[in-house]
Amino acid sequence: MLVISCFTNQRRMRFDALTEKKVPPLKKLQTEYDACLIQKKSIYTEHCKARKEMRSVLTVKANIDQLMDYELSKHYKNIDYSLMR
């Protein structure tokens, strides 16, 4: 029982040291939450735009890589390897 009360006292001391004695009013917490929510929504829309642009860039890159591979394979088919021996 002594060990449990020791941990409880430590937690209480840490809580008292980190926080104010009173809990902030609900109205203040709600306004802070609303501000954070607005910021989150604006950042999320930017994130969606960036993700969409990234997908289109990756699609273009994949298409170019595929075309380059096709051109290289076409080039290597035209080389006469018998002359290299």
For residue 80, pLDDT beyond 90: no
Q: What is the pTM assigned to this prediction?
A: 0.47
Q: Give the position of tokens 């380059």.
A: 68
pLDDT for position 2: 45
Joined together, the tokens standing for residue 68 give 């380059």
Query: 24: which DSSP letter?
Result: P
Tens digit of each residue's pLDDT (9 = 90 or more) over 24-38: 788 988 999 999 999
Round to whole Å and give the CA distance between 35 and 7.
36
d(CA 44, CA 27): 25
